[in-house]
Structure 1
Amino acid sequence: MIRLFKHYIPHAVLLLGLVDLLLLMLAGELAWQLRAGQLDMNAGHIGDRLSSLSVFAGIVLIAMISVGVYGAEALRSLRYALARLVVAVSLGIIALSFVDFVVPGLDFWRSTLAYAMVFSIILLIVNRIVVGGLLGTSAFRRRVLVLGAGRRAERLRDLANRQGSGFVIVGFIGMSENKPLIEEAINRSAIHDLSRFVENLGVSEVVLALEERRNALPLKDLLRIKTAGVHVNDFSSFIERETGRVDLDSVNPSWLIFSDGFSSGRMMSSISKRIFDVTASSLLLLVTWPIIALFALLVKLDSKGPAFFRQTRVGLYGESFDVIKLRSMRSDAEKAGEAKWAQKNDPRVTRIGRFIRKVRIDELPQAWTVLKGEMSFVGPRPERPEFVTDLEDKLPYYAERHMVKPGITGWAQINYPYGASIEDARHKLEYDLYYAKNYTPFLDLLILLQTFRVILWGEGAR
């Protein structure tokens, strides 16, 4: 994987994206040449169109990222990818039609865009058949040697066996005399020279998956392997990189303290984040106030109670604030006074509430909370004080998620379905900790783009 602005991007995704970008520029050029030929006009030099071709390719690529073309499911299934490609290119063409009116000097003729749309879809599908097929072979995956043959090693094997994995495990080495859970593991005593063994296997990375490190680390061998140019990684860091989450089953306070993250450079990120929040929330409220007013009226007509719903949540540094949404549940949803998790097909949700939850219209008034500075557009989902007290007792490091401002959308929201239990909260916490540890404006932008995918395909709505 390549680390870009503290966030890991798989080599396969990066390579696929770069090829897609070039193919989109090619599609735009083919469309222009075809239309020029039909009109019997001089197509001109391609250099004169580079700016227009770059804008075309860039906007369509952003649309592809937004609808999940580079997500795990789209990389595994050609049929799944095809559906999202068609949607992405269509949205990109619509956006370009708007850009044509706004930006002078860019010539996006409707006929040319129609041809470019067809060429783009054909070329992108061919790219997934050819390049996608090659990336799935072991020749394009990192070769990993695992030191350990216990439960952690099993987890790595399961991760490597997932379709679309960016690494292949070339061997397991049992580092203790205990019976290994990995039957094919080679005992350390059977290997005379570990560094030579790593060299012969063509290993690019060694991962320490030891259940107990005490007196089990072959420090001299690891030093020799490291100085030979082979990357040596611990289990927790490897899981974080490959899955985009902090693994609560293996981390400890020392790992959180000494691993990369939570850097002082976040001050500049926080300033840029606040500038974006103020600008975006102001524009969002300005554009969507008629929608908010319309659905506020519909909520009032649909069921008894106020149109807007206020509820106390826990925010930055554990401080409480009131979040405001369009009401989507009956006003007597918690008449017993006891806080309850939202459930799938929750009977407390009203008819209008079911729709506004699905398309996230109920979240729009939260832009006011963002403008006031109590929330951000991107961050961990703020929870109710009643739940926070319980979760801090049951989940390790839960309080650390409050070291960043809560958000309307977040890394957990786009990577994990809507949760309504302690176990769900645990999984979402792993993603929240990853965000708190690694957040940058780049990661915020990626999350905002991916949020469109969640809204478009109805993922996680409840």
Structure 2
Amino acid sequence: MKSSLYDQAIGVGSTRHPLQRLHYQLLAGLLLAVGTPLLARMGLEPWAAFSISDQVTVTSAIFAHMTGYMIYRRLEAFPGVATSSTVLPAFTFSFGLVLILIIFFRLDYSRIQVAGSFVISASWYLSLHVFMQRLEPYRLAVVPGGNVDRLIAVEGVAWQKLFSPDAAQGKVLAVVVDLRADLPETWERFITGCVLSGTPVYHVKQVVESLTGRVEIEHLSENTLGSLNPNQVYFKIKRVLDWLGALAVLVLASPLFLILALAIRLETPGPALFRQQRVGYRGAPFTVYKFRTMRAEADGAIAEKEKAITRDGDKRITRVGRILRRTRLDELPQAINILKGQMSWIGPRPEATVLSRWYEAELPFYPYRHIVRPGITGWAQVSQGHVAAVDEVREKLHYDFYYIKNFSPWLDLLIVMRTIKIMLTGFGAK
């Protein structure tokens, strides 16, 4: 993960700016976010800090600040995530959670203290992000040899290619090398020297995976034991959360279901729900439910594989269907599949059976994605969008493997945030 590599890289040496140290960032943030509103209130009410309501508020603000900090640091660790896009959602969630608990337990609190702490918390870490970018650009040195040329295509990093072990490498955060390559003895001594001096050294594949959010599997031997086995504890917790969420959606959104079904039936003849057989968890086939977004085709009018593929500007899509696809509301009936244990809210997208057979024939490792339940949204969907061609599906498979390898509530939370953004922008819809 880019942020993880960065945190480890700036962790060496003794000449760092104090704000590069994570505990200083948190300590300064706490003092500003909690202390500033409290001191301002004490200027008006000197005894404010001794009241029960203010003590509750200060304790809650400390908890909310630390929780928000932990969430944004976790989310920032995933590829392609900028701090500027995670700070506000993270602190909105943490302070919102604290407010809900305060209201639920009917505790007295200071609105000024909570609001002030929230604004200062978000502002502090956004400002810190800008400051850190200017202070320490993300620069990595590259040892020539092996499969390192593909690094240049990875954006967001200043790559510095080394031409000689004796040449000055400048100020870099870490060194990247293909550890599987047969390197000259002089370069091996250079790498050993970097390790002994405290400069982080990373294998090229690890860096590419961390910066792109994709896990490439080219040989079975590269799949280390357990690397594609999801966390079983979270796997079970997620199943319960999925079920509760699906039940809530089916109950609370039932009026919306009726409105959408009526709109579909009024525009074109045919059922409101679309049913299709897809491949799911552990390769088991199941019937997926969606709101119908296309005109019904006569049997035999189009080949089965072509029928399963949605192309750009597909003329079969109706006007209502285009809106449903853009907002992803056509996916809501899959809450039924989640209740039945066939799907999850988040996971690799299930493909139609005919397409899955095609991809499996072309991509040997394709079935690995069935190790977790398929989802309505997922890492590949928010990173790549809708694809159908085999070459595009190969890239999608790399995203799916990254999700499985990094299976966690933090990655799921990031996917939820990106999904909301996509619902507003229509990214990847066809």
Q: Quick one: structure 1 residues 237 and 112, their matched pair in 2 at CA, closer, same or farther if it must change by over 3 Å?
A: closer
> Aligned-pair distance for 1:418?
2.5
Q: Is the CA contact 1:239–1:247 (under 8 Å) kept in the aligned structure 2?
A: no
> Aligned-pair distance for 1:54?
4.3
Matched letter for residue 201 of structure 2: V
How many residue pairs match? The answer is 411
Matched letter for residue 379 of structure 1: G
Q: Quick one: distance in 2 between partners of 1:239 and 1:397?
A: 19
2:104 aligned with 1:102 = yes
2:389 aligned with 1:384 = no
Task: Report the counterpart of residue 177 of structure 2 in structure 1.
Answer: 208
Q: Is the CA contact 2:277–2:353 (under 8 Å) kept in the aligned structure 1?
A: yes
Task: Report the counterpart of residue 327 of structure 2 in structure 1.
Answer: 359
> Aligned-pair distance for 1:324?
0.6
Q: Quick one: structure 1 residues 454 and 269, their matched pair in 2 at CA, closer, same or farther if it must change by over 3 Å?
A: same
Q: Is the CA contact 1:205–1:232 (under 8 Å) kept in the aligned structure 2?
A: yes
Gaps of 5+ in 2: 11-19
Task: Report the counterpart of residue 236 of structure 1 in structure 2.
Answer: 205
Matched letter for residue 298 of structure 1: A
Any idea what SS the aligned residue of 2:424 has? helix
Task: Report the counterpart of residue 48 of structure 2 in structure 1.
Answer: 43
2:415 aligned with 1:450 = no
Q: Quick one: distance in 1 between partners of 2:417 and 2:133?
A: 26
Task: Report the counterpart of residue 153 of structure 1 in structure 2.
Answer: 148
Deviations 1:56-96 (A, max 9, x none): 6579779989999x995866xx8xx6xx9889988998888
Residues 122-137 of structure 1 mapped to structure 2, 5 A cutoff: 124=122, 128=126, 130-137=127-134
Q: Quick one: structure 1 residues 134 and 59, their matched pair in 2 at CA, closer, same or farther if it must change by over 3 Å?
A: closer
Deviations 1:209-232 (A, max 9, x none): 48x835768656545544554433
Q: Quick one: distance in 1 between partners of 2:200 and 2:72?
A: 33
Q: Quick one: distance in 2 between partners of 1:374 and 1:271?
A: 14
Q: Is the CA contact 2:61–2:117 (under 8 Å) kept in the aligned structure 1?
A: no
Gaps of 5+ in 1: 173-185
Q: Quick one: structure 1 residues 36 and 306, their matched pair in 2 at CA, closer, same or farther if it must change by over 3 Å?
A: farther
> Aligned-pair distance for 1:326?
1.4
> Aligned-pair distance for 1:349?
1.7
Q: Quick one: structure 1 residues 336 and 103, their matched pair in 2 at CA, closer, same or farther if it must change by over 3 Å?
A: farther
> Aligned-pair distance for 1:337?
3.9
Deviations 1:396-437 (A, max 9, x none): 522211222211111111222222433332221111011122
Q: Quick one: structure 1 residues 345 and 451, their matched pair in 2 at CA, closer, same or farther if it must change by over 3 Å?
A: same
Q: Quick one: distance in 2 between partners of 1:382 and 1:146?
A: 39
Task: Report the counterpart of residue 417 of structure 1 in structure 2.
Answer: 385
2:236 aligned with 1:271 = yes
Matched letter for residue 159 of structure 2: I
Percent identity between matched residues is 28
Q: Quick one: distance in 2 between partners of 1:43 and 1:58?
A: 23
Q: TM-score, normalised by structure 1?
A: 0.71
**What is the alpha-carbon root mean square deviation over aligned residues?**
4.4
Matched letter for residue 146 of structure 1: V
2:253 aligned with 1:288 = yes
Q: Quick one: distance in 1 between partners of 2:379 and 2:137?
A: 28
Matched letter for residue 132 of structure 2: L
Task: Report the counterpart of residue 373 of structure 1 in structure 2.
Answer: 341
Q: Quick one: distance in 1 between partners of 2:256 and 2:35?
A: 40
Give the alignment partner of residue 316 of structure 1, picking from 281, 287, 295.
Answer: 281
Q: Quick one: distance in 2 between partners of 1:65 and 1:452?
A: 20
> Aligned-pair distance for 1:361?
1.7
